[in-house]
Structure 1
């Protein structure tokens, strides 16, 4: 199944590379388009990791389906963004140590989440919604109902944290195909978040605090 996801993602990347992403001038390294593609790839790839853990280990068919949908959708989108960055001749990941979300600053006037429950106008070291290493290790060790509940909590926080970046890119990115993908991220993650909130409530559990 994982091999099928990778093949599908690769095909999506090739299609993206061969079409709209190469038909006009490439955006600059400091643009919303490049910053969104780089940062959202990092965000998406962690979601793929968490979804893969749940898909492989849960016995709940509903959650297995949700995890598979998240894994396949976000892997495909991450590969599409990688295709853009290749065509634009930009690194596929942000520069190590430079921080994230600098592209959302609008000359230092626009504030965004600092990944710690507050707001900032500059780059952050941890994007909102991202799970820590300890949280990922905990997820890997759980099983049964505890695994399912913690997966829902982590993924809900992850979705809601990433939505801020997608909303900003949907409004401010220079390329229409970038805005289109960002809008898809907002729509799909809003729908999935609502579903996960319902499933958590059914289990008598609450969402994790925002980060």
Structure 2
């Protein structure tokens, strides 16, 4: 899957405190709970750079970063406490998971980018049910134009757009996580992927209810 040449997607900007907090969390997990580290499950084998394990870690780290970015955007575009609370929860959860994924890549001694592009690790094209839009990096991810629109929206308009964009984002994330739950070989990573599926599906149900309250619906 390639990005549109006419509409290059911008690279998500990092959220320094969230990334730092996630890095600290990963360091503590690897130091005090070695069994949680992929590759430390009774074998010295580690995934290869072309494996589903490494591909999912790389791609989902990028995917999560945009969700964190959008959640911080909406924080300044609305005063609604329910939306702000949801955005905070999503930012915290996905920043921590992102830190774990990047920490595992460091542990495995693997690069955080791939010359094969995004999603090359997914064996079954049928997994790609929620396709990328022109200008987006991966399925579910927002385009530059959509991020700019969110940055300029206010109040309920911003809330609706955020909930719709995050619903799309979660749909793409669930697709990726399901693929890892089936294809990844590292037990810890498969378990994390399954938790992502369950958590994001629950959040999608909540976001559908919140959109309905605002006279709207997922796109």
Q: Which moved more, 1:36-45 or 1:166-175?
A: 166-175
TM-aligned CA deviation for residue 17 of structure 1: 3.9
Aligned to 1:73: 93
Structure 2, unpaired ranges of 5+: 1-14
TM-aligned CA deviation for residue 84 of structure 1: 0.2
Structure 2 Cα separation of the partners of residues 129 and 168 of structure 1: 15
Aligned to 1:103: 121
Q: Which of 17, 22, 25 is the aligned partner of 1:9?
A: 22
1:21 matches 2:29: no
Structure 1 Cα separation of the partners of residues 145 and 217 of structure 2: 20
Structure 1 Cα separation of the partners of residues 19 and 121 of structure 2: 29
1:155 matches 2:146: no
Aligned to 1:59: 79
CA-to-partner distance for each residue in 1:60-96, whole Å, 9 max, x for gaps?
Answer: 000000000000000000010000000111112333x
Quick check: 2:170–2:200 contact (8 Å CA) kept in 1?
yes
Structure 1 Cα separation of the partners of residues 125 and 159 of structure 2: 37
Structure 1 Cα separation of the partners of residues 145 and 29 of structure 2: 35
Structure 2 Cα separation of the partners of residues 110 and 155 of structure 1: 23
1:192 matches 2:208: no
1:143 matches 2:159: no
Q: Which moved more, 1:3-12 or 1:19-28?
A: 3-12
Aligned to 2:10: none
SS in 2 for 1:103: coil
TM-score by length of 1: 0.85
TM-aligned CA deviation for residue 144 of structure 1: 0.8
TM-aligned CA deviation for residue 7 of structure 1: 4.3
Aligned to 1:47: 67
Structure 2 Cα separation of the partners of residues 75 and 178 of structure 1: 16
Quick check: 1:17–1:84 contact (8 Å CA) kept in 2?
no
Quick check: 1:58–1:148 contact (8 Å CA) kept in 2?
yes
Structure 1, unpaired ranges of 5+: 118-124
Aligned to 1:130: 141
TM-score by length of 2: 0.82
Quick check: 1:29–1:90 contact (8 Å CA) kept in 2?
yes
TM-aligned CA deviation for residue 3 of structure 1: 6.7
Q: 1:71 to 1:59 in 2, by over 3 A?
A: same
1:115 matches 2:131: yes
Q: 1:28 to 1:72 in 2, by over 3 A?
A: same
